[in-house]
Structures are given as C-alpha cells and as structure tokens.
C-alpha cells in the first residue's frame, strides 16, 4: 500500500546470487564485454579482461576506469598485463619486493601511461564517477528490482537478454567533460569524495 514499507511474501525463497563484471565502451555506450559468474575473484576479473582484450585490436590502446576493489589491483592482473604488453623486467615478489610488493606499487604499474593497457582508478568511495555504475543502476531498475527468478540460470539469462537489449536500444556515446586527474588524483582530498 502507498506509504507503507514493502514486505516480503511468506513464500519468498532466495535461489542464490550471481555477479556481473562489465566493460562499457564510452565512445558507443555499449557493454563491450562482460563476465557473469557467482564469484568475483581475481581469476574472474582476468577472464573478463581476456574477453575485453579479445575485442580490441592489439594495436589499440585500452584504458580502463575502475574503482579500487582489490581484484582491480591484484598480483594476477599485474602479471597478466605484463604478459600482454611484453614487459620483460622482473616484477618482484608479492609482499616482499618490486612492483608486486604492495597494492600501491601494483596500482602505479597498472596506471603507467606508456602501457597499451592502462588503468585509471577512481578515488576511494567515488566509484559513482565511473559510467559503468550508471549502467549497473539501469540494469537493476529495469530488470532486477522486484524480479522473480526461479534459478541462477534464469537470472543470468535475463541479465544477458538485458545486455543485448540495452546495447541495441539505449546505447549512446558518453559526452565526456572530464579531462583527467591532475597529478596524484587531487580529487582525493575534496569534500566531494569524502
């Protein structure tokens, strides 16, 4: 009823959850690559990166805007990127030395402007600056909210159908006004991101 909180029906059963890792092309507005899987691990992110990289010619630059989730700065991702860009130097040892020593060093390696595949990380607690978050919000509002799915397979199928539909009907280029972070992400200290 209007003005009353929404309640769950007594027959409500939770059939499980799944995860979606997606890559939105801001020049077309289409979800170029995605990985649907019950987990969200380093390995899942590498599978997604392989799918995304397969869609991009090897001569093109690939810039990924990502939040600071641990899997976006993992050892396996650094090793995968190093292989893709033919990085020949020693990466070090996780927790001990070199690029792999800690997240800050791995993040700096992933942000290198000279690399063909490079990352730009949104400041902490500001993932809403990433256009993919708006896309996920539309998916949730248009397809998932108040949805009834009898299985994880049915849920995943509905997500895939929505991706096809959104790519055909809603996709449009993003009009970027953002020109990039200035030296060491000056937005980190702004009240906007606190």
Q: Which of 6-10, 105-109, 114-118, 144-148 has the lowest mean pLDDT?
A: 6-10
Q: How confident is the model at residue 8 (pLDDT cuts 50, 70, 90)?
A: low
Q: Which of 22-36, 89-103, 104-118, 120-134 has the lowest mean pLDDT?
A: 120-134
H helical segments located in 55-183: 75-84, 103-110, 131-139, 152-169
Residue of 151, 145, 138 whose CA lies nearest to 17: 151
Query: Could you give the CA distance from residue 113 to residue 119 in angstroms, rounded to a whole number?
Result: 9
Q: What is the mean pLDDT of residues 179-191?
A: 43
Q: How confident is the model at residue 161 (pLDDT cuts 50, 70, 90)?
A: very high
Q: What is the pLDDT of residue 180?
A: 58
pLDDT at 117 over 50: yes
| pLDDT tens per residue, range 28-56 | 999 999 999 999 999 999 999 999 999 98
Element (H, E) at 45: helix 42-54
Q: Which of 10-14, 48-52, 106-110, 132-136 has the lowest mean pLDDT?
A: 10-14
Element (H, E) at 12: none
Q: How much is the pTM? A: 0.82
Which residue did the predictor score with more confidence, 26 or 79? 79
Query: Could you give the CA distance from residue 47 to residue 54 in angstroms, rounded to a whole number?
Result: 11
Q: How confident is the model at residue 14 (pLDDT cuts 50, 70, 90)?
A: low
What percent of the chain has a predicted confidence (pLDDT) above 70? Answer: 85
Q: How confident is the model at residue 147 (pLDDT cuts 50, 70, 90)?
A: confident
Q: How confident is the model at residue 171 (pLDDT cuts 50, 70, 90)?
A: very high
**For the chain, which residues make up each domain, given as ranges?**
19-175
β-strands 117-121, 62-66 pairing: parallel
């Amino acid at each position: 009823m209007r003005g009353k909180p929404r309640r769950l029906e007594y027959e409500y059963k939770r059939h499980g959850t799944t995860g979606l890792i997606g890559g939105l092309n801001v020049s077309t507005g289409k979800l170029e690559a995605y990985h649907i899987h019950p987990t969200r691990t380093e390995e899942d992110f590498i599978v997604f990166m392989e799918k995304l990289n397969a869609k991009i010619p090897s001569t093109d630059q690939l810039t990924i805007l990502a939040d600071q989730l641990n899997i976006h700065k993992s050892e396996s991702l650094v090793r995968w990127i190093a292989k893709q860009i033919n990085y020949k130097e020693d990466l070090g040892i996780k927790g001990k030395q070199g690029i792999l020593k800690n997240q800050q060093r791995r993040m700096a390696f992933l942000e290198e402007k000279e690399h063909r595949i490079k990352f730009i990380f949104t400041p902490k607690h500001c993932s809403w600056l990433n256009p993919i978050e708006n896309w996920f919000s539309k998916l949730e509002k248009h397809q998932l909210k108040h949805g009834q799915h009898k299985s994880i397979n049915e849920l995943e199928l509905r997500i895939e159908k929505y991706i096809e539909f959104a790519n055909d009907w809603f996709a449009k280029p993003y009009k970027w006004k953002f020109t990039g972070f200035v030296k060491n992400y000056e937005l980190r200290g702004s009240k906007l991101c606190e």
